[in-house]
Structure 1
Amino acid sequence: MNWEQLLSTKRSRGASNKNKYTKSTDLRSEFEKDYHRIIGSASFRRLQDKTQVFPLDKSDFIRTRLTHSLEVSSLAKSLGQNIGENILVYRKDSGFTPGMKEDICSILQCAGLIHDIGNPPFGHFGETAIREWFERNLPVLSYHGQPVDKVLTPQMRQDFYNFEGNAQALRLVTKLHFLVDEQGMNLTYALLNTIVKYPVSSVGIDKQSGNIKDKKMGYYFADEDIFEEIAAQTGTNGLRHPLTFILEAADDIAYKTADIEDAFIKGFITYYSLLEELKELQEQYAGGARSAFRPAEKLEDLYRRGKEKHVNDPEEYAIKNWIVRVQGFLISCATYGFTSHYEAIMEGTYAYDLFHQTFAEKLMDLLGDMAFRKVFTSETIYRMEVAEAAMIDFLMDKFVTAVIHYDDPGEKLSSIDLRMVSFISSNYKNAYHYHAEGKPDIERLYLRLLLVTDYICGMTDSYAKRLYQELKAII
């Protein structure tokens, strides 16, 4: 892979590499134009009412998908600056230019904004609820007398059984913003490829391969053509785009540190419980690793500083400032992870995240494990998730039943099904009709099922809850 091709400014409609440096009254780069398209979109605005960890939280401090995405965007750009400068200073790539450094920073800034844009309401549990709904219901739903799971092709079926917000993000920005035309936001191919964390289809998932790119699916059967065009234009051809490693590292830094901070504010984690686990981690360091960032000592130092400053809550002061220090340390480690494996990443043979075998690896593992033990498996979160599952299941039941025979020649919808279909955004229905035109019946059925997930994924937490209450006649 080479940067000239990886940084392709091609779009499905208009703009191409040959025009990259053409004089214009608009002095923005193509990637800066992407940024303005994203922040002006309704899908991006909806992230302000989508869950990061705590659904429908009343606090104005707890993170939403919007604030998380802004943090990822900022961290990704910082990583891009560090890594780009390292490539230039140490001459790791003779073809890499200062202009390319600016471009990767702009791409990563944009990628951070949209990396979660396809996620359904209620966070990652919303994805789980949708997957499990399909596993239970596709075998019992009927289409012209046959079970739907038997009618669909293996890849179509696996798309639903492995439903994934990452794949939905690519679909949303390339097809579902049916405003100007069928090209969605019409973003650059370099940006689109950066957000594809897993460049495999649902039948290409291989969790045992040892390669991070094979863990989940990155695109639906419905979007295979656009994915292959993007991969061909950028020269990745089934490999991870190098910038994807950087985006993933920024995402990991953002959510693993933020989850600890939010958990502290919500009372799931205390200063002392965090300190105790960090001390245990420090004891595992040996030899040269002892010279690395020492997280427990840093937390204690900050607590003492808070006491000396006579702040109202030295524990809160310590944790919030510790998060900032840790993020700086993790940025350094991710920079090292990319630059020390530069050749393997550019060849597409690097199989791990950027924290693999760095000083940060055990700390990242601890933060994730602590959030899982203290927050995600708590009774409070479980109660929320049971309620969320009930809402997702009800909406899936109603809308999938309604669309099974929608736009199906010779079939008449019931009065209730007609009304359910009318609730679906005309934007999504227009996209469905455009892409279903001339397709075989089975593919049209598949696209109708995607129409439901498209609509539900576009819902905010509050809208999903309100629609559920209205349809259940809960006053």
Structure 2
Amino acid sequence: MHLTSSASPAMSWQRLLARRRYPDQPQLHLVADTPVVRGAFVADYDRVVFSSAFRRLQRKTQVMPLPETDFVHTRLTHSLETACVGRSLGRLSGRRLMEADADLAAALPTLDQDFGDIVAAACLSHDIGNPPFGHSGEDAISAYFTSREAERFITGLSAAQQADLQHFEGNAAGFRVLTHTYPAHSTGTAGLGLTYAVLGAFTKYPRPSIVETKAQTGGTSEKKYGYFQCEKGRFRHVADELGLLPKGEEGAGFYHRHPLAFLVEAADDLCYRIIDFEDGLKLGLIDHNHGLKLLRCMLNDPPTRQASVQWHDWREELGYIRARLIGKLVDEISQRFAEHVPAMLTGQYDQPLVKELECWHELQEVQMLSVEKLYRSRPVLEIEAAGFEVLGGLLDAFLHATFDAQRSHRSRKLLDLLPMQYRALGPQAELPAYEQIVLLTDFIGGLSDQNALALYRTIKGIDLPKGF
């Protein structure tokens, strides 16, 4: 099996698996007798787990906003499950490459473990930049910056800076969470100080919000963007360190994906399609008989297979089928990944791996049912609609306070509610208007659903704080 093509420039695994930490932190050299308890990529996973941004995902919407039942997933449980699937996908994919290429296995003897650890850490953080109220939170922020109320704040910004705000993207906000350090609260590292390899695998969309190039192909890595203008130099540094291939003109900031980003995408696709569907069945929004039949069809057991378990409840069978189905699809995706690695390394493959699954049509039916019955259910729509008012209202209030040249009493009170790292004070006092606005989106995007709602009700005088 050949991992690169001599006819085209190619990425190399030696660079793509860089253990050095961003930005340019030296490797930790241990005394020879010191045991290595955990590798660099496992340490990345732990850094994400212990971050405040990750902890706040426990109260951010996955599907059902502000859920009242314990079994409905939040962003945090979704991220944990995606990381588990991603670890299995990475290790199995790496093992297949090693079995097919003895030279690769000899050069990189821990390839399978490294793949698993990198993909798991990237999966764990894949939603870390998502704002409150699910994907509608991104829409709410975008809608505010396209409204007449926001005109005075974005006039004078470049087209690319305006696009960052008017097409707000949680993936770009996530890259900022992982790499940005606020000067007023500097810890000596940038963001979480993750390895270049994990940052590369995390970035499913290695492009800015506007790409002035003819190199666009409509591939899966182009459908969104992965970093804001204020992180353009930062991402270019990551891409150069990893040896990512530029797409189009030099300097456009547009790159081919890190190959492991395809596995991160696949793990997310499997979890949100299948496990969101499971939530819909358990909530009674999707008929469980029809849902179970569809999942059994995807599992495609031979007619002669004998059941080894007797079910007392359809929910028990649902959990069993879901677990077996994800295991089956992980195996199939790892096969497709191994087949396409040579093309990924030369930038000639750019499609979602799940599209190549034998059960792709059934997965599409699962997705359509989820959209119709779950994502468009009345409780979801009502709270998402409220999210537009909450996020738009918070942005409007804090932007007016930030850019109030007179510093009225009301503006000062509102600014006092902002944590210091999100205010244009001290080291951040001279920031351009665009970066001051991004600071506010950092704050509002980082709120949990409940925190955003409570803050909105407080500043509007609807509710008063009930004490400490």
Match of 1:213 among 214, 221, 229: 221
What's the counterpart of residue 285 of structure 1?
Answer: none
Instruction: Give the alignment of 1:432-471 within 5 angstroms.
Output: 434=427, 437=430, 444-471=432-459
CA distance in 1, matches of 2:217, 2:79: 30
Question: Are the equivalent residues in 2 in contact too, given 1:337–1:355 (CA < 8 A)?
Answer: no
The one of 202, 211, 218 equivalent to 1:195 is 202
* Residue number among 62, 69, 72 corresponding to 1:52 in the alignment: 62
Cα gap change, 1:451/1:66 in structure 2, threshold over 3 Å: closer, same or farther?
A: same
Q: Deviations over 1:180-229 (max 9, x none)?
A: 13612111111111111101101029998321111111100000111000
1:186 aligns with 2:193: yes
Tell me if 1:474 matches 2:462. Answer: yes
Aligned partner of residue 53 in structure 2, secondary structure: helix
Q: Unpaired segments of 5 or more residues in structure 2?
A: 1-10, 246-254, 464-468
Matched, 1:34 2:33: no
Q: Note the 1:355-374 alignment, pairs <5 A.
A: 355-374=354-373
> Secondary structure of the residue that 1:250 maps to in structure 2?
helix
Give runs of aligned pairs for residues 316-465 of structure 1, distance below 5 A.
316-405=315-404, 411-429=405-423, 434=427, 437=430, 444-465=432-453
Which residue of structure 2 aligns with residue 271 of structure 1?
A: 288
C-alpha spacing 1:20/1:377, structure 2 compared with 1 (3 Å): farther
2:147 counterpart SS class: helix
Contact 2:176 2:231 in 1 (8 A): yes
Amino acid aligned to 1:8: A
The 3 A distance-change label for structure 1 pair 422 and 85 is: same
1:26 Cα deviation from its structure 2 partner = 6.5
C-alpha RMSD of matched pairs (Å): 2.7
SS state at 1:355 partner: helix
More helix, by proportion: 1
2:273 is matched with which residue?
A: 256
Partners of 1:20 and 1:213 lie apart in 2 by 36
Rounded Cα–Cα distance in structure 2 between residues aligned with 1:334 and 1:20: 37
Question: Following TM superposition, by how much is the alpha carbon of 1:354 offset from its aligned partner in structure 2, in angstroms?
Answer: 0.9
Q: 1:57-91 CA distances to partner (integer Å, 9 max, x unpaired)?
A: 11111111111110011100000111010001111
Q: Do the aligned partners of 2:390 and 2:453 also contact (CA within 8 Å) in 1?
A: yes
Alpha-carbon shift at residue 277 of structure 1 (Å)? 5.3
Residue 11 of structure 1: CA displacement? Answer: 2.2
The change in CA–CA distance for 1:469 and 1:435 in structure 2 (over 3 A counts) is closer
CA contact (8 A) 1:207 1:214 kept: no
What SS does the corresponding residue of 1:117 show, helix, strand or coil? coil
Q: Distance in 1 between matches of 2:75 and 2:52?
A: 14
Q: Is residue 294 from structure 1 mapped to residue 300 from structure 2 by the alignment?
A: yes
Question: 8 Å contact 1:134–1:160 — kept in the other structure?
Answer: yes
What is the aligned partner in structure 1 of residue 3 from structure 2? none
Q: How many residues align?
A: 439
Q: Would you say the 8 A contact 1:50–1:460 is kept in 2?
A: yes
Residue ranges of structure 1 left out of the alignment (5+ in a row)? 143-147, 283-291, 406-410
In the superposition, relative to structure 1, how do residues 152 and 319 fare at CA in structure 2: closer, same or farther (>3 Å)?
A: same
Deviation at 1:52, TM superposition (A): 0.6
Tell me the residue number matched to 2:169: 164
1:180 is aligned with what amino acid? T
Deviation at 1:236, TM superposition (A): 0.7
TM-score under structure 1 length normalisation: 0.85
Q: 1:440-473 deviations in whole A, cap 9, x for unaligned?
A: xxxx100111011100111011111111121122
- Following superposition, the deviation at residue 364 of structure 1 comes to 2.3
Contact 2:45-2:121 at 8 Å conserved across structures:
yes
Q: Deviations over 1:134-172 (max 9, x none)?
A: 11146x532xxxxx4441111101111121000000101
- Which structure has more relative contact order (CA 8 Å, sep 6+)? It is 2
Percent of aligned positions that are identical = 31
Residue pair 2:19, 2:195 contacting (<8 A) in 1 also:
yes
Cα contact 1:193–1:230 (8 A) shared by 2: yes
Superposed structure 1 runs of 4+ greater than 6 Å apart: 205-208, 295-298
Stretch deviating more after TM superposition (340-349 or 208-217): 208-217
Distance 1:420 1:362, change over 3 A: same
Give 3-state SS (helix, strand or coil) of 1:368's partner. Answer: helix
CA contact (8 A) 1:404 1:449 kept: no
Shift of 1:360: 3.1
Residue identity in the other structure for 2:336: G
What pairs up with 1:128-143 in 2 under 5 angstroms? 128-137=139-148, 141-142=151-152
1:100 aligns with 2:99: no
Separation of aligned partners in 1, 2:34 and 2:447: 38
> How far apart, CA to CA, are the structure 2 residues paired with 1:338 and 1:329?
15
Matched residue of 1:455: which SS?
Answer: helix
Q: Distance in 2 between matches of 1:349 and 1:151?
A: 39
Q: Deviations for 1:224-274, whole angstroms, at most 9, x for unmatched residues?
A: 111000000000141100110001111111111111111112110122232
Q: Is the 8 A contact 1:129 1:392 kept in 2?
A: yes
1:20 Cα offset (Å): 7.3
Give the drift of 1:301: 8.3
TM-score (norm 2): 0.87
